[in-house]
Amino acid sequence: MRLPAVALLLAGLACAVSAQTTSTGTKWDYIGKYGPINWGKLDPAWKACSDGKEQSPVDIRNAKLNKALPPIEFHYMAGPVEIVNNGHTIQINVGPGSYIMYEGVRYDLVQFHFHHPSDESVKGKLSDMVVHLVHKSADGKIAVVAVLMTENRGQPNALLSTLWPSMPKVVGQTAKISDMVNPGGFLPADRGYWTYTGSLTAPPCTEGVKWLIFQQQMPLSREQLRAFSAIYPVNSRPLQDLRGRKIEASE
């Protein structure tokens, strides 16, 4: 995530027990005086957090079926990754080569990270976790693929089983995973999705982000959920007003 247009996103996509600092030097958090209600006041560059009209996350409901929505074409590659505790989430930085094609545009996968509980909800219900796969096009547009995850006591997530043993527990720590990690392991068999236009879910809350949220949820075990929540008990932003935006559903 060394791409300028996404640098602030990487600095703040989750929670910390104490306020953490972004690349601008401004502290933010999900609780207290540095929490979401004050994000827009903490830094002039974050005005969209309080004044934006297309903010994320949102509650997914009353989605309109759009048969013309194209499938998301995934071209993910397996490779070694870097796992980082960035003070807001556990983030996985990937090497070049993985991308999606959507509406004729190529978006390269830059990183993926996790929120507990999920940022977005479906008909008012939050999921236990969500993985956000963050992509960027050549002209700087951002597309985020969201995969909701639900605890299933007897069904661990295979990809998390590869990642979690190396999960850094201390802010600022990183670890290299030399095993071949393929982000495609997070993708559900049913590729139906919801889509809408929103924002980054953390400062600077930049708008114009294309959200692609899978309708089918994926499992993770209770142990995997507890391992993450022990580090980040809550790292999700409160739901935002749709303000008349439409949510569409693919077939």
Q: What is the pLDDT of residues 52-86, one digit of tens each?
A: 999 999 999 999 999 999 999 999 999 999 999 99
pLDDT, residue 32, reads: 87
pLDDT score at 129: 98
1: pLDDT confidence band, cut at 50, 70 and 90?
Answer: very low
Q: Residue 126: give its domain's CATH number.
A: 3.10.200.10
Catalytic residue among 75, 88, 116, 132: 88
pTM of the entire structure? Answer: 0.90
Residue 191: domain span: 4-57+69-233
Q: Does residue 22 carry a pLDDT above 80?
A: no
Show the beta-strand stretches assigned E in the chain. 20-21, 27-28, 59-60, 64-65, 73-75, 79-85, 90-94, 99-102, 105-115, 121-122, 125-126, 129-137, 142-151, 174-181, 193-199, 207-214, 218-220, 248-249
What local confidence, expressed as pLDDT, does residue 90 receive? Answer: 97
What pLDDT shows up at residue 23?
Answer: 52
Within-domain flag for 244 = no
Whether residue 2 is predicted with pLDDT greater than 90 in this model: the reply is no
| Strand bridging mode 142-151 / 129-137 | antiparallel
pLDDT at 133 over 70: yes
pLDDT at 141 over 90: yes
- Rounded average pLDDT over 231-240: 96
pLDDT tens digits for 211-235?
Answer: 999 999 999 999 999 999 999 999 9
Structural domains in the chain (count):
1
Q: How confident is the model at residue 165 (pLDDT cuts 50, 70, 90)?
A: very high
Tell me, yes or no, if 132 is annotated catalytic: no
Q: What is the pLDDT of residues 171-207, one digit of tens each?
A: 999 999 998 999 999 999 999 999 999 999 999 999 9
Percent of the chain scoring above 90 in pLDDT: 85
pLDDT computed for residue 67 by the predictor: 97
Nearest 5°: phi and psi at 48?
A: -60, -25
Q: How high is the pLDDT of residue 113?
A: 97
Task: Please check whether residue 74 lies inside any domain of the structure.
Answer: yes
Residue 15 within any structural domain of the chain: yes
Instruction: Give a yes or no: residue 26 inside a domain.
Output: yes
Q: What is the pLDDT of residue 153?
A: 80
pLDDT the model gives residue 11: 36
pLDDT at 126 over 70: yes
Whole-number average pLDDT of the chain: 91
Q: Tokens representing 129?
A: 């976790």
